[in-house]
């Protein structure tokens, strides 16, 4: 394999494949500013992106490409991608069993602890899968990295990669970035002790660790001190471990304004917008756009809307709530149950309040990016109420595209609240009465205040474009 100076490693890559009705493989680029930001830097600086095949179509594409290098077989706009075809069972154990069902639940503090988790021998087998999966990534990076190359490892899927890489290739400069929150030690301690230590020391194989918020960085430092007994300097944010000093940095991530505006100019957005305008008529519009993700707190969001209609009957017939909840992680049973609950609560709200001329709530569960962008343009209020969230880009993208000075109702537990909180209406995501009050205040806010708040939101939201976020990480490696 040819060698690169900059390597990116992430579970979900920048391109995904699907099979067309005629059996041909089609590919499309992953959406969002993060992928674009990293691609734009990677294509400029001699980069390779290493990712996993996530579907059968991905696997087929990887198998067809020489050495699983997709760019040698498909036109990827100058981007080099090595897609790893990790055996299905190993991948499922690592991705569904450990990354999504364990690490994600821990970092978002989502366990119903009287019942879960329970770490038995089944979990140990999955941890072996996770280790094998991390080894497969490390192997590909070892093979693809030029002397002294810089490697940017992304997220909880790949926590063990930095340490494995360092032992194999001490010449490399390694960064690891967490896009999730980080749990406090009292919570990370739910993990078996040896695994918690492996996780932390796996990441500490890096030269530099990055988090989206000072809250997550500091929680990580506390875990290193209390679980590993490492020597931590909290003011300089460094950890001494295994004879090395690892720097921990905070790099917030902003919306990609140029990319967003370009996507919003697509004629499909205008078409969706017309449909939405017809749907909501002259009612005010509360919008939410999420994956159907437990941490996004969709059910409490719906309950807050219900509280609003109960506490302020004057809004009945005058407001519509558009809730987009796109399918996610259907392999995890809790997500399937949650999706059912979202549907059930939505139905109950409509049964309780709908009249012949008014549908209070429109819930859409099929993914439609142009429609999401159109809803940002039209929203009067944008509701973002996760129980915990690394950053939350919807909170940043919505204000950028808003054409009606939408007011942001934002959970204080989202990383984005660090930068946007002052200009949003912040809420405790567990308190649906407070959230309903914030919705009412947002709907009733005078035009001047809405405009001022939105201007400040946009300023804060675009301050750190993904491209800069990524360059900062590379620069921090020296
Ligand atoms: C979060 C994670 C990402 C992940 C995304 C979608 O934002 O930080 O790493 O790609 O969720 O999740 P999925 O499991 O569908 O890749």
The pLDDT tens digits for 83-102 are 999 999 999 999 999 999 99
Least Cα distance to 143 among 180, 168, 123 occurs for: 168
Distance 14 CA to ligand 1 centre (A): 12
Catalogue the E-assigned strands of 341-438. 361-364, 381-384, 407-411, 425-427
Is there a single domain that holds both residue 328 and residue 439? yes
Distance 153 CA to ligand 1 centre (A): 14
Is there a single domain that holds both residue 53 and residue 168? yes
Does the pLDDT value for residue 42 go beyond 90? no
Q: What three-state secondary structure class fits 339? A: helix
What pLDDT does residue 445 have? 98
Nearest CA to ligand 1 atom 10: 12
Does the pLDDT value for residue 146 go beyond 80? yes
Is there a single domain that holds both residue 329 and residue 408? yes
Distance 319 CA to ligand 1 centre (A): 32
Portion of the chain with pLDDT greater than 70, in percent: 100
The answer to whether the CB of 110 falls within 8 A of the CB of 101 is: no
Is there a single domain that holds both residue 43 and residue 85? yes
User: Quick one: CA dihedral 447, 391, 217, 460, positive or negative?
Assistant: negative
Does the pLDDT value for residue 253 go beyond 90? yes
Ligand 1 surroundings by CB, under 6 angstroms: 12, 155, 179-180, 328-329
Tell me the C-alpha distance between 431 and 363, whole Å: 22
What pLDDT does residue 217 have? 98
Distance 467 CA to ligand 1 centre (A): 19
- Which atom of ligand 1 is the closest one to the Cα of 390? 8
Is there a single domain that holds both residue 228 and residue 280? no
- The domain in which residue 342 lies consists of 265-461
Is position 84 within any domain? yes
Is position 107 within any domain? yes
> How many Cβ atoms are within 10 Å of 261's Cβ, its own excluded?
12
Residue with tokens 């918020």: 213
Is there a single domain that holds both residue 23 and residue 159? yes
Is position 259 within any domain? no
Distance 33 CA to ligand 1 centre (A): 14
Is there a single domain that holds both residue 193 and residue 269? no
Is there a single domain that holds both residue 297 and residue 350? yes
Is position 14 within any domain? yes
Q: What pLDDT band is residue 39 in, cutting at 50, 70 and 90?
A: confident
Does the pLDDT value for residue 454 go beyond 80? yes
Does the pLDDT value for residue 32 go beyond 80? no
Mutate-to-test residue for ligand 1 from 95, 100, 155, highest number of ligand atoms within 8 A of CB: 155
Is there a single domain that holds both residue 112 and residue 233? yes
Is there a single domain that holds both residue 240 and residue 289? no
Distance 34 CA to ligand 1 centre (A): 12
Nearest CA to ligand 1 atom 5: 12
- Which atom of ligand 1 is the closest one to the Cα of 54? 16
Distance 362 CA to ligand 1 centre (A): 25
Does the pLDDT value for residue 218 go beyond 90? yes
List Cβ<8 Å contacts ≥24 apart for 330-335. 331/92, 331/96, 331/100, 332/96, 332/100, 332/101, 334/101, 334/294, 335/292, 335/293, 335/294
Give 69's contacts (C-beta < 8 A, 6+ positions apart).
1, 80, 81, 82
Nearest CA to ligand 1 atom 4: 12
Does the pLDDT value for residue 33 go beyond 80? no
Distance 2 CA to ligand 1 centre (A): 29
Nearest CA to ligand 1 atom 2: 179
Tell me the C-alpha distance between 310 and 353, whole Å: 9
CATH code of the domain covering residue 315: 3.40.50.2000
Nearest CA to ligand 1 atom 9: 155
What pLDDT does residue 424 have? 98
367: tokens are: 């993914």
Tell me the C-alpha distance between 171 and 141, whole Å: 13
Does the pLDDT value for residue 478 go beyond 90? no
pLDDT, tens digit, for every residue of 259-294? Answer: 999 999 999 999 999 999 999 999 999 999 999 999
Distance 289 CA to ligand 1 centre (A): 15
Q: Count of H helices and E strands in the chain?
A: 19, 17
Which residues are paired to 367 by β-bridges? none
Distance 400 CA to ligand 1 centre (A): 23
Nearest CA to ligand 1 atom 16: 12
Report how many domains make up the chain.
2
- Which atom of ligand 1 is the closest one to the Cα of 328? 15
Is there a single domain that holds both residue 287 and residue 196? no
Is there a single domain that holds both residue 227 and residue 371? no
> How many Cβ atoms are within 10 Å of 368's Cβ, its own excluded?
14
Catalogue the E-assigned strands of 54-125. 80-84
Mean pLDDT of the chain: 96
Pairing of strands 425-427, 208-211: unpaired
Distance 283 CA to ligand 1 centre (A): 34
Nearest CA to ligand 1 atom 8: 179
Mutate-to-test residue for ligand 1 from 8, 12, 98, highest number of ligand atoms within 8 A of CB: 12
What pLDDT does residue 36 have? 81
Is position 260 within any domain? no
Mutate-to-test residue for ligand 1 from 105, 177, 179, highest number of ligand atoms within 8 A of CB: 179
- DSSP states of 263-302: HHTSHHHHHHHHHHHHHHTTSEEEEEEEES-GGG-HHHHH
Is position 358 within any domain? yes
Task: Say how many CA atoms lie within 13 Å of 384 toward its Cβ.
Answer: 31
């Amino acid at each position: 394999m040819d060698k690169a100076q900059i390597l990116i490693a992430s579970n979900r890559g920048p391109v995904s494949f699907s099979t067309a009705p005629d059996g041909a493989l089609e590919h499309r680029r992953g959406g969002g500013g993060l992928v674009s930001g990293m691609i734009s830097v990677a294509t400029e600086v001699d980069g390779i992106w290493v990712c996993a095949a996530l579907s059968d179509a991905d696997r087929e594409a990887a198998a067809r490409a020489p050495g699983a290098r997709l760019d040698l077989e498909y036109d990827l706009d100058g981007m080099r991608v090595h897609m790893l075809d990790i055996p299905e069972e190993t991948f499922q154990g690592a991705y569904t069993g450990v990354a999504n069902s364990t690490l994600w639940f821990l970092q978002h503090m989502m366990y119903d602890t009287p019942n879960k988790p329970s770490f038995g021998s089944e979990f140990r087998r999955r941890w072996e899968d996770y280790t094998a999966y991390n080894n497969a990534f490390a192997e590909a990076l070892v093979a693809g990295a030029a002397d002294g190359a810089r490697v940017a490892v992304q997220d909880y899927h790949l926590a063990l990669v930095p340490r494995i890489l360092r032992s194999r290739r001490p010449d490399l400069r390694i960064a690891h970035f967490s896009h999730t929150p980080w749990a406090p030690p009292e919570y990370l301690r739910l993990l078996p002790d040896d695994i918690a230590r492996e996780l932390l020391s796996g990441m500490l194989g890096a030269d530099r660790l990055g988090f989206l918020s000072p809250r997550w960085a500091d929680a990580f430092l506390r875990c290193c001190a209390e679980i590993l007994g490492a020597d931590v300097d909290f003011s300089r944010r460094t950890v001494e471990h295994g004879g090395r000093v690892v720097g921990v940095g905070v790099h917030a991530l902003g919306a990609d304004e140029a990319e967003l505006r370009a996507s919003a100019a697509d004629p499909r957005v205008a078409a969706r917008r017309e449909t939405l305008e017809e749907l909501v008529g002259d009612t005010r519009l509360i919008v939410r756009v999420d994956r159907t993700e437990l941490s996004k707190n969709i059910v409490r969001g719906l309950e807050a809307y219900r509280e609003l209609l109960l506490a302020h009957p004057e809004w009945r017939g005058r407001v519509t709530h558009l809730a987009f909840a796109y399918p996610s992680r259907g392999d995890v049973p809790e997500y399937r149950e949650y999706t059912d609950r979202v549907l059930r609560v939505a139905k109950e709200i409509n049964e309780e309040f709908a009249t012949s001329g008014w549908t209070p709530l429109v819930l859409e569960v099929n993914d439609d990016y142009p429609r999401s962008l159109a809803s940002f343009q039209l929203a009067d209020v944008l509701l973002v109420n996760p129980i915990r969230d690394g950053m939350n880009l919807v909170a940043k993208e919505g204000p950028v595209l808003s054409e009606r000075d939408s007011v942001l109702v934002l959970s204080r537990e989202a990383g984005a609240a660090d930068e946007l909180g002052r200009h949003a209406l912040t809420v405790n995501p567990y308190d649906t009465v407070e959230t309903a009050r914030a919705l009412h205040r947002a709907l009733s806010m005078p035009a001047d205040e809405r405009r001022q708040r939105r201007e400040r939101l946009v300023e804060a939201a675009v301050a750190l474009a993904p491209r800069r976020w990524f360059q900062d990480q590379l620069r921090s490696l020296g």
